[in-house]
Structure 1
């Protein structure tokens, strides 16, 4: 009986505090709190967008959670532990720890070396836990569904958590960050990176198929640029190339060109194809990849420099089957046996609404 009364009292306190916070958010946008939150969003928006592009979590949701959980970066947990999402240690955490009173006294929270680590761990936290898997069934633009989904999955105990997130998103128009191709964002750097350079050098190469972790290492004696992705050397197939020509140039057997790239011997290569000239790795440097429109397992294996059969093995998939748009593929460790990708998802990061 006493416990029931105590729980009701706690719920009432949360409700009152939540309503009070909603009233604060609804005040004139010139107030100090609004300006502090806006400054936070401007500082971390690009980081949230990058995480969205890789892990499929709306930037609006991530920013709203971060500003709420961290007090716009001014809370003790954010300042001392770089923890912007209030993520507690849990039994699997092996990193640094920070203890503070929360729902109970001296609770254990994760401590990070940087804010970037906190944002990445938040992405991995949602992506790798079964109880949050239903979130990724939602349209990435449906921030209300995500807000209520987080509460249903148990992310926060505050009964007003969804309303608080929604209010922040609408008050600051955070949905503009869910459209990474918008002209209003400064997400893409103007400098020429190796990825940009390889596209410029090879007009037939689709940026969507661009290897995820590449460097330009040298130019061959024939003048061909050689790149490295996941510590594996590759070239880009040119108009006048043939498998025999490439094999002779790099002192290989012709069949090795096809074997290194997980291709049948009768496969017709085309300009712009990524061609590895040595065996790909068993795993990638990245942890996860969210399947995008037009992807298939072979393209993804080429993008990350992973042997195709190992990519299937890491994800416990039958060889020859294909993932669905929005599914999360494991690239570095084997997917837990109890985790299954939802059969249908809507994921439209690269197809923003008109």
Structure 2
């Protein structure tokens, strides 16, 4: 009996010792997760193109006299050139008309795309209907009131029709005897063939060609080397006002307003266009806004 009691006490002691043994908890360290680094860049302002395709000029303002008077800037003209230079070079390759002449005429006749006919009818060359035109048309005051001008769906059609107009009319045949890139001969030839009545028309075309380096597009077609003009020719001057010294309060004088033509003024004062031209020593129908005309 005593042995059983002693044995029981020994077993109880052993059990209590094993239950008091400290427990060690282990945890597995999780691997650190790194987030990807996002690279940031500072947004830069757009860079204005320069070089041959965008001649560097001061952003000056000038008035272009076409079928309407249009105030434009040199930047506007540059943008016009960039928009239509490829069409002009394509027409040069296909029809033999200098790209420089095409662009210069487009600038002058359309007011760099901002003239009334360009905006209303996509007509960039001031081409009138004539008897062979079967397309749409618009009416616009020019040498006479409400003359018929061709209307196009888009400007590229006007460029194509301009080429076909020159190629298809016999009176312009002499132009195609000139060298493709002789823009000075073409400018003078257009005036001689009757494309425009303005005696300064050739000088205006040449001025645009040389100020805006349009001859480079002729050279791209012909493969010849091009040298940019270092000195720009000053803008073509508006027709001089022969009555600038006359008293502005004179009731016999009329100040030309935007949209006026010799024809509209002649109707307003019941005089003939030829009489107006004679009274004011005008050699053509070109007018300038603010110009004073003798009307009586």
Shift of 1:78: 0.3
Give the match for residue 91 of structure 2. Answer: 51
Give the equivalent residue in structure 1 for 2:257.
none
Q: TM-score, normalised by structure 2?
A: 0.52
Report the CA distance between 1:47 and its aligned residue: 0.7
Q: 1:65 aligns with which of 96, 105, 113?
A: 105
Give the secondary structure class of the aligned counterpart of 2:128.
Answer: coil
Partner of 1:42: 82
Q: Report the CA distance between 1:150 and its aligned residue.
A: 0.1
**CA distance, structure 1, for counterparts of residue 87 and residue 219 of structure 2:** 14
What SS is found at the alignment partner of 1:180? Answer: helix
The total of aligned residue pairs comes to: 159
Where 1:53 maps in the other structure, the secondary structure is helix
1:262-302 Cα shifts (integer Å, max 9, x gaps): xxxxxxxxxxxxxxxxxxxxxxxxxxxxxxxxxxxxxxxxx
Q: Report the counterpart of residue 131 of structure 2 in structure 1.
A: 91
- How far 1:115 sits from its partner (Å)? 0.7
Distance of 2:172 and 2:225 partners within structure 1: 25
CA distance in 1, matches of 2:174, 2:121: 29
What SS does structure 2 have at the residue aligned with 1:104? coil
Find the partner of 1:82 among 114, 119, 122.
122
User: Is residue 2:250 matched to residue 1:352?
Assistant: no
- How much is the aligned-residue C-alpha RMSD, in angstroms? 1.3
Measure the CA separation in 2 of the matches of 1:97 and 1:177: 31
1:34 shift after superposition:
1.2
> How do residues 71-220 of structure 1 correspond to structure 2 at under 5 angstroms?
71-180=111-220
Matching residue within 30, 39, 58 for 1:29: 58
C-alpha separation in 1, matches of 2:224 and 2:172:
24
The aligned counterpart of 1:231 is none
Task: Determine the C-alpha separation between the residues in 1 that align with 2:102 and 2:217.
Answer: 10
- In the other structure, the counterpart of 1:263 is none
Shift of 1:74: 0.3
- 4+ residue stretches of structure 1 with deviation over 4 A? none
Please, which runs of 5 or more residues in structure 1 have no aligned partner? 1-27, 182-348
Instruction: Report the equivalent of 1:210.
Output: none
> Which protein has the larger Cα radius of gyration, Structure 1 or Structure 2?
2
CA distance in 1, matches of 2:220, 2:214: 12
Partners of 1:99 and 1:175 lie apart in 2 by 34
TM-score normalised to structure 1 length: 0.44
Aligned residue for 2:220, secondary structure, equals coil
**What SS does the aligned partner of 1:72 have?**
coil
- CA separation in 1, counterparts of 2:172 and 2:58? 33
Deviation at 1:180, TM superposition (A): 2.6
- Mapped to 1, the partners of 2:94 and 2:219 lie a distance apart of 14
Matches for 1:333-352 after TM superposition, within 5 Å = 349=222, 352=224
Shift in Å at residue 30 of structure 1?
2.4
Secondary structure, in 3 states, of the residue corresponding to 1:158?
A: coil
Deviation at 1:353, TM superposition (A): 5.0
Alpha-carbon distance in 1 for matches of 2:116, 2:89: 25
- Distance, in Å, in 1 between the alignment partners of 2:161 and 2:135 is 11
